[in-house]
Amino acid sequence: MSVLDKFRLDGRVVIVTGASSGLGVAFAKAVAEAGADVVLAARRVDKLADTAELVKSVGGRVLSVGTDVVDPDQCTALVEAAIAEFGKVDVLVNNAGVGTAVPSTRETPEEFRSVIDINLNGSYWAAQACGRVMAPGSSIVNISSILGLTTAGLPQAAYSASKAAIVGLTRDLAQQWGTRKGIRVNAIAPGFFASEMTAAYAPGYLDALAPRMILGRKGDPEELAATLVWLASDAGGYVTGQTIAVDGGVTIT
């Protein structure tokens, strides 16, 4: 086997949550291109159809499952559907999440709880459901954010707290499941990539952050997806418990 062969996902079954738009679409396409069968999960079932067609266009088999990760029972049902269709689950891409920018003196309990419930609790329920059935050699990749590692000038207490918590969750699950179950658990902390979240930023916001982007530009979603494939595949077989910042250098400025 060559080094490049280690990046292949042939014969693997990959669940991608939050697969209806943005980075979730890029992740689904990338794992399909690497040879995986893909299970798409999101609340917006109608939008999953477009992602499913994209996966098919690069030769992947695909299953779409309407899922709200806030509900542990729906996460369990997602995993059961994946097993019924493909026989197993090898990789979870824990991507479902929302972002808000609300000043902390005005943020309501409902707003704060909603972000934590989706970004943190939902990631845990999805990981728990997959961890119960995954075989040794499986991989979970949680999607954190550079805002879990640094700040970026917006009032994002709930979002930043949830993404920082993902870093801790990743370490703990890696510790719990590495020796006992042979499951690797890592996280990616994306910088600024084209997504629904960045599209909602005020005009000029990203330009103001340009001095912190050492590489001088926003990221290409395919660059982030390549990191995902590395962590999901045998190429990342000796990496666990880590949070990899893919941010053009923002977190070191």
Whole-number Å distance between alpha carbons of 253 and 241: 24
- 124, 159, 205, 238: the catalytic one is 159
Catalytic: 159? yes
Whose tokens are 């729906």? That residue is 74
Print the SS3 string covering 136-196: CCCEEEEECCHHHCCCCCCCCHHHHHHHHHHHHHHHHHHHHHHHHHCCEEEEEEECCECCH
Mutual orientation of helices 157-181 and 109-116 as an angle, nearest 10°? 30
What are the backbone angles phi and psi of residue 249, rounded to the nearest 5°?
Answer: 100, 5
Which ranges of the chain would DSSP assign to H, the alpha helix? Answer: 22-33, 45-57, 72-86, 109-116, 122-131, 157-181, 196-199, 205-209, 221-232
**Looking at the annotation, which residues are catalytic?**
159
